[in-house]
Structures are given as structure tokens and as C-alpha cells.
Amino acid sequence: MSLSLPVCLTAVKQSLFLLTTKITTGGNRHWQRAEASGRKTDSLEVEMTSYVLLALLSGPSMPGFGLDYSTAIVRWLAQQQNPYGGFASTQDTVVALQALAKYGAATFSPEGASAVSVSSAGGLNMEFTVNQNNRLLYQEEQLNEVPGDYNIKAQGKSCVFVQIAMHYNIPPPPDFSTFNISTETLGKCDGTKKSLIVSVDVRYNGRREETNMVIINVKLLSGFVLDKSSLRPLKNDPTVKRVDLEEGHVIIYLDGLKQKETKTYSLAIEEDVPVRNLKPAVVKVYDYYQTSDEAVSEYSSPCAESDEINEV
């Protein structure tokens, strides 16, 4: 577990027409989609809330919507940040950081300093100092008492962001998934180089009529490369928005999937370098804006079994 202290807070931005859908709890304020599952904050909620904050900070000030109102939004956004300063996806991270930066500019003061002390019953006693010379410096210390009770105390006059991050493993999710994904592999195993056709079936089982943008991430088997001619049918498929190749992965972007709709996508891969004891490769599908909606499958080379038989 680690305690990090990047100096001074950020801000968020959203649209005022969404004000009637805000959620206010515990001094925090954010906006939620009507169809949100409530299980986990998704990227769209972060992005919407960020746009609201940007709108509040970009236009003329209005009664009741001053910095105090914005601070409650910033407090919620800060709680959604991961230990690396980002959020769940690239898009919500870009918008949220833009909004947080605008809030930081609105609350900036050329003066002020603070001391943040962290103590525990186990004898820990450390102090962070934030002043105008180091206000952009990221400060971090390890907290070795897990579990442990920690007290954080701040003194001074400045804007400071304190975050405690704990990494741990959790049991696998229940069998039900918003998505179903399955794979089938056909192989041509004779000859000097093996070639495979990998078919991926994806189905949406969620409550919404249609998903947001969906990502299918197909990892290639070790020692195999993509037959790029198999991309033509994919790129001509009207349901496929885009296809990217990234270091042994094929990333397929879909505009969305309708409820109970099943789609099949196929790729051709061929052996480039023989690999012994070939392990399965993972295929993952997830909602781009609600990454908790996901499913994972894997596929193997049918040629690997015949190779093992021949070796015996």
C-alpha cells in the first residue's frame, strides 16, 4: 500500500442541461446515467461529470454555482482517479484532467504552504511539505502496516491532494456476465508453417437495449502473426468501426451490440516462429465506457495437440 501526494487539485467539466440528474452524497456531487447498473462507476459518469465542471468554470459565474459547488464535483472526481492519476479509459481521462486543470487554475494562489503528517498506532510518523517550490512535485511513501489504522493531518493554507492506494487480489466474478464470448479455432497443421482461423462469437446479455462502443481484444498466440488479408472482411463489416494492431494484439472496435445480439468475427493467423509448449491466448470483450461489463475467453492451436502426439 502506498500514500501518494501530487500537489494541488484539478477539476472537471460537464453540461448544465444535466443538472437535474445529479447525485449528491457526503459532500460529493456527480452525474449518473439513468441506465447505470450502480455496481461500479463507469467512464461515462466520469466524462459527464467532467463536462459539467468544465461548463461551470468556462462560463460566467451564476448564483449558487460558485467554486464551492465545483469543489464538491472535484472531490468526487478525485475519488475516481487511479493510483497513476488517470481514470478508467483514455477518453474520460482526457476530459477529467482538462476539467481538473481548469479548477486548479481557478483556485491557484501564488502564496501558501501546507504540512501533511501521517501517523499510525504502529509508530509510523512521516511528514510531507507542500510549498510554492515543490507544489508540482509528486511525493510518495510506502505504508507497510496492512491492515493498519492511519491518521492524516494537514496544517497550513494551500490546495493539497492526498491519495492512499492499496493493491489486492479479489475472487473471480460470478458466472453471469453482461457479455458472452466464445472462440473456435480451425487449423491447417501440415506443411512447414501452420495456419489457423480464429472465430470469435460475442453476445450482449445486459439490461440496456444497446451497448456503448464495444472493444474485442484478441491476443495472438506466441510465435504467430496476423494474416493481414483477413482484415479486409472485418473492415468491410458495417458493425466494425475500426481495427488496430498493437504488439501481438488485434483490437476490434464495434459501434455497439444490441440486446441478445450475437456477432461473429474471424481472423487468420499463421506461424512465424515455432514455439514448444504453446499456451492458450486470451480474447477479451468489454464496453468501452463501462469497463466493468466484460467477458474473457481463450483459444489454443489445434496443431499443438498433434505436435505433442508426434513427439511422443
Give the start-to-end residue ranges of the domains of the chain. Answer: 1-168, 179-311
**How far are the Cα atoms of 43, 123, 291 from residue 40, in angstroms, in the given order?**
10, 35, 9
Supply the pLDDT for residue 3: 57
DSSP codes, 270-293: EESS--SSPPPEEEEEEESS-TTS
pTM beyond 0.75: no
Angle between helices 43-58 and 67-80 (to 10 degrees): 150
Residue with cell 504540512: 115
* CATH architecture for segment(s) 179-311: Sandwich (2.60)
Q: What DSSP state is assigned to residue 148?
A: -
In degrees and rounded to multiples of 5, residue 310 shows phi and psi of -65, -35
Supply the pLDDT for residue 293: 85
**Grid coordinates belonging to 32:** 449518473
Average pLDDT, the chain: 83
What is the percent of the chain with per-residue pLDDT over 70, rounded to a whole number? 85
Strand-pair partners of 180: 203
Q: How confident is the model over 132-179, as pLDDT tens digits?
A: 899 889 899 999 888 889 999 999 988 888 888 888 776 655 555 789
